[in-house]
Amino acid sequence: MAQDPKQDAATEEEAPVKSSKKKLVIILSAVLLLAGIGGGAAWYFMKAKPSDKKAEKKVEAPKPPVFLALETFTVNLQPDPDEKFLQMDVTLQVAGPEVAEYVKLQMPAVRNRMLMLLTSKTASEISNSEGKALLSEEILAELKKPYAKGEKPQEITSVLFTSFVVQ
């Protein structure tokens, strides 16, 4: 059974066309699959980065300052030709509420330290702004000292004068 030469040529042409169509479908499927995987990976990593940035940007807000007002101090100053007295109100800035509570528990020792320091001063030493700044630093250093052996220094950050009268 002899075949027609025209049919042989047509069959041979159809075979490469069918083969190339299969290759084209496989290549397109592979490209689409890779594009889908790449797109999914890009979406995942792009989505994850903003949340990481938010975590990095979350910085703890500064804590509000804690102040502890002490009772009014009235003391006699050292004679500097005349006898004078000092009346002042002091507020302490402390690291936190727990420090404020501890200082309140130690108030007799705090007042004693302050009175001993204040009675050693003369009116001329504390009358000007430099003298007041130095007195503030001395009070701060005195109040930071531990109240008992083995304790840490107190976390008092500043001494603020709210009233200061020398007569």
Q: What is the CATH number of the domain that holds 137?
A: 3.30.479.30
- Residue at a domain's end among 29, 59, 89: 59
Q: What percent of the chain has pLDDT over 70?
A: 83
Of the pLDDT bands very low, low, confident and very high (cuts 50, 70, 90), residue 159 is: very high
107 and 153 belong to one structural domain = yes
Structure pTM?
0.63
38 and 78 belong to one structural domain = no
Q: Which among 26-40, 50-64, 132-146 has the top mean pLDDT?
A: 132-146
User: Given the structure tokens 């989505």, which residue do they identify?
Assistant: 47
User: Given the structure tokens 């402390």, which residue do they identify?
Assistant: 94
User: Given the structure tokens 């949340």, which residue do they identify?
Assistant: 51
- Structural domains in the chain (count): 2
Asked if residue 115 has pLDDT above 90, the reply is yes
98 and 146 belong to one structural domain = yes
**Domain housing 162:** 66-166
Asked if residue 18 has pLDDT above 90, the reply is no
Instruction: List residues bridging with 90 in a β-sheet.
Output: 161
Asked if residue 94 has pLDDT above 90, the reply is yes
Q: Which residues of 30-69 are buried (b: 16+ CB within 10 A; e: fewer)?
A: eeeeeeeeeeeeeeeeeeeeeeeeeeeeeeeeeeeebebe
99 and 154 belong to one structural domain = yes
pLDDT value for 117: 96
Average pLDDT over residues 78-107: 94
Question: Does 5 or 166 have the greater pLDDT score?
Answer: 166
- Residue at a domain's end among 59, 76, 108: 59
pLDDT value for 100: 94
Question: Does 71 or 23 have the greater pLDDT score?
Answer: 71
86 and 157 belong to one structural domain = yes
Centre a 10 Å sphere on the Cβ of residue 142 and count the other Cβ atoms it contains. Answer: 15
44 and 105 belong to one structural domain = no
